[in-house]
Amino acid sequence: MDIASGCALLDDDVSTTLELSWAICHQACVLWSSRAYRPPDPAELGEFDPVDLLVVIDKNITVLDGGSDAEIVLNAADELATVIMDRLNRPWPEVPGTGAVLEISLIDGELGWASGGRRLCRLGDLGRALRVL
Protein backbone atom coordinates (compact mmCIF):
# COMPACT_ATOMS: atom_id res chain seq x y z
CA MET A 1 0.00 0.00 0.00
CA ASP A 2 1.43 3.38 -0.94
CA ILE A 3 0.74 6.61 0.95
CA ALA A 4 -1.90 7.89 -1.48
CA SER A 5 -3.97 4.70 -1.55
CA GLY A 6 -3.66 4.32 2.24
CA CYS A 7 -4.81 7.90 2.78
CA ALA A 8 -7.74 7.45 0.40
CA LEU A 9 -8.88 4.39 2.38
CA LEU A 10 -8.41 6.23 5.67
CA ASP A 11 -10.39 9.20 4.35
CA ASP A 12 -13.24 6.87 3.35
CA ASP A 13 -13.38 5.65 6.95
CA VAL A 14 -13.25 9.06 8.65
CA SER A 15 -15.04 11.35 6.19
CA THR A 16 -18.51 10.47 7.42
CA THR A 17 -17.62 11.44 10.98
CA LEU A 18 -16.35 14.97 10.41
CA GLU A 19 -15.46 16.95 7.34
CA LEU A 20 -11.74 17.35 7.98
CA SER A 21 -9.24 19.28 5.95
CA TRP A 22 -6.13 17.12 5.97
CA ALA A 23 -3.11 16.21 3.91
CA ILE A 24 0.25 14.50 3.98
CA CYS A 25 2.84 16.80 2.50
CA HIS A 26 6.31 18.27 2.49
CA GLN A 27 6.80 22.02 2.56
CA ALA A 28 6.83 22.23 -1.23
CA CYS A 29 4.39 19.52 -2.33
CA VAL A 30 1.28 17.68 -1.27
CA LEU A 31 1.48 13.89 -1.52
CA TRP A 32 -2.22 13.36 -0.73
CA SER A 33 -5.08 15.54 0.45
CA SER A 34 -8.75 15.29 1.34
CA ARG A 35 -11.25 17.08 -0.88
CA ALA A 36 -11.72 19.66 1.86
CA TYR A 37 -7.98 20.39 2.27
CA ARG A 38 -7.10 24.03 2.79
CA PRO A 39 -3.33 24.55 2.71
CA PRO A 40 -1.85 26.39 5.68
CA ASP A 41 -0.09 29.70 5.26
CA PRO A 42 3.43 28.98 3.96
CA ALA A 43 4.85 30.79 7.01
CA GLU A 44 3.29 28.08 9.22
CA LEU A 45 5.34 25.46 7.39
CA GLY A 46 8.55 27.51 7.60
CA GLU A 47 9.52 26.12 11.00
CA PHE A 48 9.76 22.59 9.59
CA ASP A 49 12.68 21.05 7.74
CA PRO A 50 11.92 20.87 3.99
CA VAL A 51 12.48 17.10 4.05
CA ASP A 52 10.04 16.53 6.93
CA LEU A 53 6.94 14.60 6.00
CA LEU A 54 3.99 16.38 7.62
CA VAL A 55 0.38 15.65 8.37
CA VAL A 56 -1.69 18.84 8.27
CA ILE A 57 -5.14 18.55 9.85
CA ASP A 58 -6.95 21.84 9.62
CA LYS A 59 -4.38 24.08 11.37
CA ASN A 60 -2.57 21.28 13.26
CA ILE A 61 0.79 20.38 11.72
CA THR A 62 2.77 17.35 12.92
CA VAL A 63 5.94 15.70 11.64
CA LEU A 64 5.25 12.10 10.64
CA ASP A 65 7.65 9.36 11.62
CA GLY A 66 7.82 5.93 10.09
CA GLY A 67 9.87 4.11 7.54
CA SER A 68 7.28 2.32 5.43
CA ASP A 69 4.30 3.88 3.71
CA ALA A 70 1.98 1.84 5.96
CA GLU A 71 3.71 3.20 9.08
CA ILE A 72 3.34 6.75 7.77
CA VAL A 73 -0.40 6.25 7.13
CA LEU A 74 -0.72 4.62 10.57
CA ASN A 75 0.87 7.64 12.24
CA ALA A 76 -1.34 10.01 10.23
CA ALA A 77 -4.36 7.97 11.36
CA ASP A 78 -3.29 8.36 14.99
CA GLU A 79 -3.18 12.13 14.52
CA LEU A 80 -6.59 12.14 12.83
CA ALA A 81 -8.09 10.03 15.62
CA THR A 82 -6.76 12.50 18.19
CA VAL A 83 -8.38 15.45 16.39
CA ILE A 84 -11.65 13.57 15.94
CA MET A 85 -11.73 12.52 19.59
CA ASP A 86 -11.06 16.10 20.68
CA ARG A 87 -13.83 17.51 18.49
CA LEU A 88 -16.40 14.89 19.42
CA ASN A 89 -15.29 14.91 23.05
CA ARG A 90 -15.47 11.12 23.22
CA PRO A 91 -13.51 8.09 22.09
CA TRP A 92 -13.82 7.40 18.40
CA PRO A 93 -14.56 5.19 16.60
CA GLU A 94 -16.49 2.66 18.63
CA VAL A 95 -18.19 -0.61 17.82
CA PRO A 96 -21.91 0.26 18.10
CA GLY A 97 -23.56 -1.03 21.23
CA THR A 98 -20.34 -2.27 22.81
CA GLY A 99 -18.35 0.84 23.65
CA ALA A 100 -15.24 -0.97 22.37
CA VAL A 101 -12.90 1.64 20.95
CA LEU A 102 -11.29 0.84 17.62
CA GLU A 103 -7.76 1.70 16.64
CA ILE A 104 -5.83 1.40 13.42
CA SER A 105 -3.22 -1.31 13.62
CA LEU A 106 -0.57 -2.66 11.31
CA ILE A 107 -1.23 -6.40 11.29
CA ASP A 108 0.90 -8.65 9.09
CA GLY A 109 1.89 -5.64 7.00
CA GLU A 110 -1.71 -4.57 6.34
CA LEU A 111 -3.51 -1.63 7.93
CA GLY A 112 -6.80 -2.45 9.59
CA TRP A 113 -9.18 -1.58 12.40
CA ALA A 114 -8.82 -3.61 15.59
CA SER A 115 -10.21 -3.65 19.10
CA GLY A 116 -8.67 -5.45 22.04
CA GLY A 117 -6.02 -6.93 19.76
CA ARG A 118 -8.67 -8.48 17.49
CA ARG A 119 -8.87 -7.35 13.89
CA LEU A 120 -12.30 -6.12 12.80
CA CYS A 121 -11.76 -5.08 9.19
CA ARG A 122 -9.33 -3.68 6.67
CA LEU A 123 -8.70 0.04 6.33
CA GLY A 124 -11.36 1.50 4.04
CA ASP A 125 -13.98 -1.07 5.09
CA LEU A 126 -15.01 0.46 8.43
CA GLY A 127 -18.43 1.74 7.33
CA ARG A 128 -19.37 -1.60 5.77
CA ALA A 129 -18.08 -3.54 8.81
CA LEU A 130 -20.05 -1.41 11.26
CA ARG A 131 -23.27 -1.86 9.24
CA VAL A 132 -23.06 -5.65 9.54
CA LEU A 133 -22.30 -5.74 13.28
Q: Tell me the per-residue pLDDT of 30-44, one tens digit each, with 9 for 90 and over.
A: 999 998 899 988 888
Residues in the chain where the model's pLDDT stays below 70: 16-18, 90-93, 132-133
Domain spans in the chain, listed from the N-terminal domain onward: 3-132
pTM of the shown model: 0.84
How far is residue 99 from each of residues 54, 57, 71, 95, 125, measured CA to CA in Å?
A: 32, 26, 27, 6, 19
Q: Phi then psi for 19, rounded to 5 degrees?
A: -85, 100
